[in-house]
Structure 1
């Protein structure tokens, strides 16, 4: 494959070049994400919370509301938030040129015009390194670089496709491939079906998300601690000896400090077959965790089948 084509699909995403934009977008995502959290019927493991990768950007998917259905989509082709109902009503809000406070005001004004009432806790969730200000007063975060947002979305499209392939190989309980606005990561989890004790003192989020044995996989664009994009994986609870297991490809490694297996995005961008490297990474972590925790690997494997 021509390297220029690969670069279009896996473009450079240095966090230092777009961190202000990333932080503003993160807060925009939290505002809309909290609306979905508040209005969508509750699901196990917080599966009613995330967004999904779409052909335009990131979408809440259809949200039922008092006899109608509406959807909120971050359109990263046109750089707007689009709110649309099944009754043909719609509103758009530009993403560039607005502070978090202005975006917050616009979102709730548009919802009101569409006859939708939503109540949220209007402060950032668990991102003290970015902001603790109420959304309505945050005039600081107002940076939006269209090129880097587009790159981020392009990467998410590719990663979503890879994760969907990997998800299809497993016939046990699995999460959807979903984008969580808490830490702006695209993730996927496989479950053994076994319940596990929840840590004493765990909050409501942890109690629900960590109630069963899982092997989790994800991608995120970097943060104040990890200063570049990376694929990650983990197991909960972590079995003894997990980090002694080998990983693939050779660029992958265990991080004892974080408890994660990591494959840095920049190590696969120029590869001859970047998708296969990511799939190898995901499979190697799954095999390591399933082996150490005595999962029935063969019973969970999707059988081969003839095309119809």
Structure 2
């Protein structure tokens, strides 16, 4: 029996909408304090043993970490000086979460000039003005976390089979997706931009070089079910016609990327193998069609305690 949890979109939708806005608010702290890193990697979250963490945030007198604990259902702010503040995750408006978060970080960071509105959403109403009651189902949040703990190790394993530049496995709060990206090493055509509530200069820096990217989101934004995705930028003309595995994967014409329903992976005889197959075949299609130097970039999947051989 699979240990991958069932995360139906209907149960997740309200909780997911809250977590999306809450991670945006918390992510703005890292965005405000951390030096800019290529492709906005300085602003992301990571899966840890209890939920999502910002990692150690530099930029003030001491280091800070923000954690969404989806086991005890708390937002925690911790400092390298041993200080800890936080509050319970429960149904609340975005405005209320914003108020509580600002109070929680004040003892650590003092006044921080944070951007006060969401990114990558069509209606970028400032957080303080989002006063409608919000949902939070602890069971839905915990199952989402459990799914991430199943998915992230497969992404990490996939990442070991590449010698070129690769992103960390990290969660972008703009669209609330866990992602991993490979780079060919070549520059890409200028991106047209046009993402809602996101400066074009940010998008163009993020896609300054050729990529093959894959990820997971729990539903929304064109696919109302939890799903994996894969895309290339720039997308080779024949990419959408490539043979991708497993058989449940398909090309989503509106999104312009491959999609694999999470349920098809969760119920597979070997979910890890099914997901790894999707990651590998979508990468191979992108790299082969765009003539990446795979002989120099690819390597076998890593195994414990075995350094890569060097000629």
Give the TM-score normalised by the residue count of structure 2. Answer: 0.92
- The answer to whether residue 99 in structure 2 is matched with residue 99 in structure 1 is no
Q: Distance in 2 between matches of 1:264 and 1:19?
A: 16
Deviation at 1:285, TM superposition (A): 0.6
Structure 1 unaligned runs (5+)? Answer: none
Counterpart for residue 197 of structure 1: 189
RMSD, matched Cα: 1.7
- More displaced 10-residue stretch of structure 1: 108-117 or 268-277: 108-117
Aligned to 2:151: 159
Pick the aligned partner of 1:71 from 62, 65, 68.
65
Give me the whole-angstrom Cα distance separating, in 2, the residues matched to 1:109 and 1:18: 28
**Structure 1 residues 258, 36: closer, same or farther in 2, change over 3 A?**
same
Q: Quick one: which of 27, 35, 44 aligns to 1:33?
A: 27
Whether the 8 Å CA contact 2:185–2:209 is kept in 1: the answer is: yes
Task: Pick from 160, 163, 180 the counterpart of residue 168 of structure 1.
Answer: 160
CA contact (8 A) 1:24 1:141 kept: no
Distance 1:172-1:201 versus aligned 2 partners, 3 A rule: closer
Match of 1:210? 207
- Alpha-carbon offset, residue 200 of structure 1: 4.8
Q: Once the 2 structures are TM-superposed, how far is the Cα of residue 233 of structure 1 from its aligned partner?
A: 0.2
Tell me how far apart the structure 2 counterparts of residues 123 and 42 of structure 1 sit (CA, whole Å): 19
Higher mean alpha-carbon deviation, 198-207 vs 182-191, is at 198-207
Count of matched residue positions in the alignment of Structure 1 and Structure 2:
300
Counting only pairs closer than 5 Å after superposition, residues 173-188 of structure 1 correspond to structure 2 as: 173-188=165-180
Distance 1:297 1:87, change over 3 A: same
5 Å-filtered alignment, 1:110-121, equals 110-121=104-115
User: Which residue pairs with 1:43 in the alignment?
Assistant: 37
The aligned counterpart of 2:197 is: none
Give the alignment of 1:1-308 within 5 angstroms. Answer: 3=1, 6=2, 9-128=3-122, 132-200=124-192, 203-302=200-299, 307=306
Q: Deviations over 1:228-265 (max 9, x none)?
A: 01110000001121122211111112223321111111
Comparing 36-45 with 192-201, greater Cα deviation is found at: 192-201
Following TM superposition, by how much is the alpha carbon of 1:307 offset from its aligned partner in structure 2, in angstroms? 3.2
Q: 2:183·2:211 contact (CA, 8 Å) conserved in 1?
A: yes
Asked if 2 retains the 8 angstrom alpha-carbon contact of 1:20 and 1:141, the reply is: no
- TM (norm. structure 1) is 0.93
Measure, in 2, the Cα distance between the counterparts of 1:49 and 1:111. 17
Q: Distance in 1 between the 2:40 and 2:109 partners?
A: 26
Name the SS for the 2:210 alignment partner: strand
- Runs (4+) off by over 6 Å: none
Distance 1:201 1:287, change over 3 A: closer
